[in-house]
Amino acid sequence: AQSVTQLGSHVSVSEGALVLLRCNYSSSVPPYLFWYVQYPNQGLQLLLKYTSAATLVKGINGFEAEFKKSETSFHLTKPSAHMSDAAEYFCAVIWYSSASKIIFGSGTRLSIRP
């Protein structure tokens, strides 16, 4: 069955440290992949997307993600965390076989320690 999994419901890093948020998908055909960020009491903002072009995708706010087909992963990284990065992050997919709706992972809450 097709699924998208985010490992770790809560990640805490120190300011200036590396941020790594994990996302894996389960499908024989790679889907379109997205990362969205949701700040407290806010809507969903697109960070970046993979649509079968370059495997290393750069997004807003210094985030990037690398699509690795062999690992069925699309992990989100940022070299140096900033206090303003504290938010909920959702990995999301569009499956080729679906009627085009976007499906979200369970989300990872990122906390930044001073």
The residue behind tokens 């590396």 is: 18
Q: Tokens 């949701």 identify what position?
A: 38
Residue 16 backbone zone (phi > 0: left; psi -120 to 50: alpha; other: beta): left
Q: 100: phi > 0 → left, psi -120 to 50 → alpha, else beta; which? A: left
Which amino acid, residue 56? L
Nearer to another protein, 1 or 99 (CB): 99
* Binding segment (CB under 8 A) for another protein, from list 13-21, 30-38, 64-72, 74-82: 30-38
Which of 1, 28, 29, 43 touches another protein (CB under 8 A)? 43
Asked if 30 interacts with another protein (CB under 8 A), we say: no
For the CB of residue 102, give the shortest distance to another protein in the complex, in Å. Answer: 5
Q: Site for another protein (CB under 8 A): which residue of 3, 14, 55, 106?
A: 106
